[in-house]
Chain A
Amino acid sequence: MKLLCCPKGDSLYLYLSGELDDCSVSRLRAETDALIDEHAGLSRAIFNLAGVRFMDSTGIGFLIGRYKKLKQYGIAMFLENPDSCADKVLLVSGVYSLIPKV
């Protein structure tokens, strides 16, 4: 998994790429949380999933975990550009009712 971060205005853009599974998630979680802590004053976090080639339910746990962390800072979370495979996993899990797609 690769993670790129780009703060812009009041928003934090996070670009995820690679395969998001149980094996890759712990490093990604630490990196993402460090970036969130660093940019805690912003009002929105947008996770761009265009580069995520594979995602299973571990990805759901990861996204909901970040949603909860961002909520503590009062930061709203959004998802952007999931490919059709990630989209299916997100739909089945009902994630979009918590974290809207923009």
Chain B
Amino acid sequence: MNKMSLSFLSRPENEVFARNAVAAFALPLNPTLSELSDVKTAVSEAVTNAIVHGYGETEGWIKVDCGIGDGTIHITVSDSGKGIEDLSQALTPFFTTLPQEEHSGMGFTIMQTFMSSFSVRSQKGEGTEVTMSKHFGARADEDAR
């Protein structure tokens, strides 16, 4: 399995860098434009969560680890921010801790919907780790059956 790892500061301008870097790494798997767009959106959601909710007003490091093999990309986005107090509440569509800032509360729902697998681990005061994968060619596999 080919692997890569990125570390960057929790600044909003790094959101576009992170999603495009992951998309570029996935290219050898020949994803469709729509599959690639799903991955970019999911990475953007996870990285934005780390910046806005994980670190908030403070600054810290965000790590993105990726592996590709067997037509699948595996992605882990982790931060050492404040963590999630109530995980099941955070996973509820439209729930947000920052409604006054127009956050939609749809980030986790989009990650779950757009990726083949998704899980999140979080420890209050220690950080959050989102693990997800996307199998490319899922539709082609179905057609071949």
Do residues A89 and B15 form an inter-chain contact, with CB atoms below 8 A?
no
Beta-carbon contacts under 8 Å, B105-120 to A: 105-107, 109-110, 113-114
**CB closest residue in chain B, given A62:** B102
Do residues B16 and A57 form an inter-chain contact, with CB atoms below 8 A?
no
Stretch in contact with the other chain, from A5-13, A15-23, A41-49, A70-78: A15-23
The dominant DSSP class at the A interface is: helix
Is B51 part of the binding interface, using a Cβ–Cβ cutoff of 8 Å?
yes
- Which chain A residues border B19 with CB–CB below 8 Å? 54
Do residues B106 and A60 form an inter-chain contact, with CB atoms below 8 A?
yes
- In the complex, which of the residues B34, B52, B104, B105 has the most CB atoms of chain A within 10 Å of its own CB atom? B104
Interface bin, chain B: 20 to 34
Interface bin, chain A: 20 to 34
Knowing A56-B45, A89-B41, the reply to whether A23 touches B106 (Cβ < 8 A) is no
Is A81 part of the binding interface, using a Cβ–Cβ cutoff of 8 Å?
no
Chain B contact residues, CB within 8 Å of chain A: 12-13, 15-16, 19, 34, 37-38, 40-41, 44-45, 48, 51-52, 101-107, 109-110, 113-114
7 CB < 8 A contacts A-B? A21-B15, A22-B15, A22-B52, A54-B40, A56-B107, A89-B41, A92-B113
